[in-house]
Amino acid sequence: MTAPVPPSSVPAATASTPAKSPPSSAKSPAADLVQATAALVSFPSVSRQESAIAALVAGELSEHPWLEVTRVGDNVVARTVLGREKRLLVAGHLDTVPPAGNDTARIEDDAVWGVGACDMKGGVAVILDLAATCEEPTVDVTWCLYAREELTRAENGLGELWASRPDLLRADAAVLCEPTDARVEAGCQGTLRAEIHLGGVRAHTARPFAGRNAIHRLGPLLERLSSWKGRTVELDGCAYVEQLQAVFVSGGVAGNVVPDEAVLTVNHRFAPDRDVATAAEEATRALTEGLLEEELEDRVVLVDGADGAPPELGHPLLAALVERSGYPPRAKLGWTDVATMWAHGIPATNFGPGDPLLAHHPSEHVRRASLERVREVLGALVTSTW
């Protein structure tokens, strides 16, 4: 990892550095991906604070004359323009969740430990290395590093690029380097958040029989949640297991007042055979049937949601990725920007280093073997004869 590039030295937002002819010299040697990942982990980039790391990667990518580099806000896109018949987009996000005492990287047991090591600075390290070493890929490649993936879709940097510069993202197929431990994880689940508002009647806590406690009314809802059994939906051999979890509870007026409102927020991860509206209707019915009271103005409010994406591995580039990975594909349990690509008509899949179970975990880490395997497979994919 080179020294950080001051933001002032990076082209202004939406400025482009034209691609030049590749030099005749041999390609650069591959980076030590453990060291490169550790450098990125120690470079803070919590969501909405990606400007410095965007400057860093834009500066590094601009050193390679075979790439056309464009920075749009805190998103960086580097493209080969070789006139190949196919174009593959390889993308990863620059941001991380807030650290949990793991903001400084450490290398131990041939692994990098620290916030974002798995989700997904290991993937970013692989992307930067391949962009630096694959001077003449047999498919044109778009390397995309974007901001604010860990936030809502409204702030997502990939969405910002689709809105302002869709020409930079057009491709025949796409790979998202989300952590999959070097296995293809196809499609993704949809997601939604809903608030269940329950009413009550205020009273003094010394005389609660004069009122109705809205917080107590949450009990049956929470019991249903704890025993909820979601569907398992198999699509093209990939099993999507649905989940429904309480994520926030709010309510209360004062320490001596029976509360007249309580709000339970739930997050539903649903299979990609349903859309947000259908999934929300099914989940609401399962949780609240017989419990909502009109006179207390009980209601369910859909806060946000995003459709998932089905497994779409028929494109030759993605089928070849599955074959080269050495494992059958499995379902992506969670929402990723594969769904964003799918919504724009681009078949996409997830394939990156790191165990997805470690994403956002205090013990988050990524191992050398996983980093190097992803580099090997993606490098072979973009340099194969098509």
Residue numbers annotated as active site: 95, 149
CA 346 to chain centre: 17
Which single residue is written with the structure tokens 């297991």?
Answer: 241
Q: Is the dihedral of CA 283, 286, 289, 291 positive or negative?
A: negative
Is 47:148 a contact under the CB 8 Å cutoff? yes
Collapsed DSSP state (helix, strand, coil) of residue 40: helix
What is the rounded CA–CA span in Å between residue 342 and residue 340? Answer: 5
Is 352:123 a contact under the CB 8 Å cutoff? yes
Instruction: Specify the pairing of strand 106-108 against strand 111-113.
Output: antiparallel
Cis omega before residue 341 (within 30°)?
no
Task: Residue 316: count other Cβ atoms within 10 Å of its Cβ.
Answer: 11
Residues in the chain, total? 386
